[in-house]
Amino acid sequence: MFKINRNLNEMKYNGESIKLAVMGAGKMGTSLISQLANIDAMEVKLVIDRTPQKAIEALVKSGVAEDKIIYTDDYNEGYEILEKGYVCVSTNYRLSYKLLQINAVVDCTGNPSFGAVIARKTIQYHKHMISFNVECEATVGPVLHDMAKKAGVVYTGILGDEPGAIIDLCNQAFGMGLDVLVAAKGKNNRLDEYVTPDQIREEAKGKSLNPKMLTSFIDGTNTMLELNSVCNALGFLPDTFGCHGIEANPETAVEKFKLKTEGGILDNYKIVEFSNGMAPGVFIIVTSDKEDVRDLMKFLGFGDGPNYLMYRPYHLTSLEAPITIYNAVVENESTIAPIQGQVADTITIAKRDIKKGETLDGIGSEKVFGKLTSHTKCMNEDLLPIGMITPKTIAAVDIAKDTLIDMSMVEIDERATITRLRRRQNSMKL
C-alpha cells in the first residue's frame, strides 16, 4: 500500500495523473467518484449516465465546482473540454473509449449486455477496463480477458466486491504455501428465489438501490454470479447445484465446511460457497500438510486443524476500487481475472410460468433467477446463462415455473455484443 501512495504522490509531483471515465452514476459510481477525489493523481474526467443531471450531482458532491463541469455528446467538444482542464458529462458512452486523454474506463452499470459493449470497445481502443459488472464478467469474462492480454491492457474486477476480496485472501494463502479448500462469501440478504421487484420496492428505496438490483441480491442471482467469477479465477466449482448456502459463523465455519466423511456438509473440496452468518465478509478455508505449519497455526490461535479459517469481515465495494485502478493502470496487474476460462455458469430458472412471446427481462426481474453450475453442464444441456438475456430475449415456448431454461426455449438477440462474444468464447480454447 505504501508503494501505491508513494508512486501516486510522485505522479502528482510530476504533473501526471490517471484519467478515468466512469460509466454509471448510481450508488456505486457516485461513491467511487467521491472516493477518487481524495486520492492523488487519480482524476474522474468523464462521467457517462443516461441522466446527465445525476452525473453532475455526483461530481458536485465529490467537490468539483459546477462551473467546471460541461455536458456534451460530441467527440470534438469532449476533447476540448478535457484539454482545457474541465470535467465532461455525457450520455454518449462512445466518448469513454474514444477520448484520447482517458487512460481507463470503469464500468459501474451492472448491465451485462451493455457491459459487454463497453468492455469490448475499451479493449479495442487499448484502454484498461475496470469492471464492477460481475454480471458481464461471469458470462463473457474469459474472452474479454483474452482480448485484453492480446491488446496489452488489463481487464479486471475490483478488490472491493466480494469476488476480488476472496481472491485477495486466496493470494495471501497461496503466498504462504497454504492449500485453499473453500472460497466463500457471506450473503448480505435473506434468500428468497421468487422475490419480485414490486415486493421489495420500498426496501430498495430505503437503501438507495434500484429495485431490480436488490431483487438480484435477495433471489441469490448476484451471489451466484459473484461465485461464478471466483470459479473462473480459481478453477473451483460449487459442491452442489446452486451451492449449499451453509449457515455458519466464524466460530463454526471450520467444522461445517468439512467433508461429510469428516463430520461436515461437503462432498468435495476446492469449491465455492456462500453462508448466512458471515456477512458482510468473505472467507476461505485453508489447510497444510506440514506438521510444523499446523503446530504454528494452533499456537497462533487458529484451532487444532488440520483446516483453518481465514476471514475478512468486510468488503468495501467502491472504496477499495482505487487500489484496483492503480494496479491495472500503473502496474498492469488485475485484481481478479478469469484465468481458468469459463469453469462455471449461472444458468436461468423460471420464477413463474412464462408465456410464449413474453420477454424474459433478465437479472433482478420477476420472471427468472440464476443458479450456479458447471460450464460442462451448461454446455451439455444447452442451458441459457442468465447474463446472456437482453431486452430482446423472448420465450419461444410456454415455460413452466422452476424450469431450467435452455436455448431451444428462447429467441435471443444474435446481433447483441454479449451473444457474439459468448459464441466466440464457446468456440475458443482459452
Contact 28, 317 (CB under 8 A): yes
Taking alpha carbons only, the member of 348, 418, 339, 337 closest to residue 385 is 348
Topology annotation, domain 2-160+318-329 = Rossmann fold (3.40.50)
Q: Which residues contact 31 (CB under 8 A, 6 or more apart)?
A: 317, 318, 319
And the C-alpha cell for 33? 467518484
What is 20-59 written as a DSSP string? EEEE--SHHHHHHHHHHTTSTTEEEEEEE-SSHHHHHHHH
% residues pLDDT > 90 (the chain)? 97
Cα–Cα separations (whole angstroms), residue 193 to 125, 128, 220: 40, 35, 6
List pLDDT tens digits, range 375-413: 999 999 999 999 999 999 999 999 999 999 999 999 999
Q: Which residues contact 184 (CB under 8 A, 6 or more apart)?
A: 166, 257, 272, 273, 274, 275, 278, 282, 283, 284, 285
Taking alpha carbons only, the member of 187, 188, 184, 154 closest to residue 169 is 184
Amino acid code (one letter) for 252: T
Mean pLDDT calculated for residue range 82-89:
98
Residue 378's φ and ψ, nearest 5 degrees, are -60, -45
Chain-centre distance for alpha carbon 261: 34
Residue 93 confidence (pLDDT): 98
In whole angstroms, give the CA distance from residue 195 to residue 287. Answer: 38
pLDDT of residue 56 exceeding 80, the answer is yes
Picking from 83-87, 142-146, 331-335, 425-429, which range would have the lowest pLDDT averaged per residue?
A: 425-429
What is 99-120 written as a DSSP string? -TT--EEEE----HHHHHHHHH
Residue 284's φ and ψ, nearest 5 degrees, are -135, 150
- The count of other CB atoms within 10 Å of the CB of residue 377 is 15
Instruction: For the chain, give the mean pLDDT.
Output: 97
Residue 17 confidence (pLDDT): 97
In whole angstroms, give the CA distance from residue 99 to residue 57. Answer: 22
Overall pTM surpassing 0.85 (yes/no): yes
In whole angstroms, give the CA distance from residue 255 to residue 264. Answer: 6
Half-sphere exposure of 332 (CA within 13 A, CB side): 6
CB-based burial, 335-363: b 16+ in 10 Å, e otherwise: bbbbeebbbbbbbbbbbeebeeeebbbbb
Domain 344-427 architecture:
Alpha-Beta Complex (3.90)
Contact 52, 71 (CB under 8 A): yes
In whole angstroms, give the CA distance from residue 347 to residue 384. Answer: 6
pLDDT of residue 429 exceeding 90, the answer is no
pLDDT of residue 235 exceeding 90, the answer is yes
pLDDT of residue 79 exceeding 90, the answer is yes
In whole angstroms, give the CA distance from residue 418 to residue 415. Answer: 9
Peptide bond before residue 306 is cis, with ω within 30 degrees of 0: yes
Taking alpha carbons only, the member of 318, 315, 317, 314 closest to residue 42 is 318
pLDDT of residue 227 exceeding 70, the answer is yes
Residue 188 confidence (pLDDT): 86
Cα–Cα separations (whole angstroms), residue 30 to 51, 318, 407: 13, 9, 37
Mean pLDDT calculated for residue range 216-235:
98
And the C-alpha cell for 161? 466486491
Taking alpha carbons only, the member of 275, 309, 315 closest to residue 184 is 275
pLDDT of residue 1 exceeding 90, the answer is no
And the C-alpha cell for 411? 429467441
Residue ranges, comma separated, of all CATH 3.90.1210.10 domains in the chain are 344-427
Q: Give the pLDDT band of residue 268 (cuts 50, 70, 90).
A: very high
Residue ranges, comma separated, of all CATH 3.40.50.720 domains in the chain are 2-160+318-329
Residue 85 confidence (pLDDT): 97
Mean pLDDT calculated for residue range 247-265:
97
Mean pLDDT calculated for residue range 152-170:
98
Q: Which residues contact 301 (CB under 8 A, 6 or more apart)?
A: none
pLDDT of residue 258 exceeding 70, the answer is yes
% residues pLDDT > 70 (the chain)? 100
Residue 430 confidence (pLDDT): 60
Q: Give the pLDDT band of residue 428 (cuts 50, 70, 90).
A: confident
And the C-alpha cell for 352? 413463474
Top-confidence residue, 2 or 395: 395
Residue 377 confidence (pLDDT): 98
In whole angstroms, give the CA distance from residue 67 to residue 308. Answer: 55
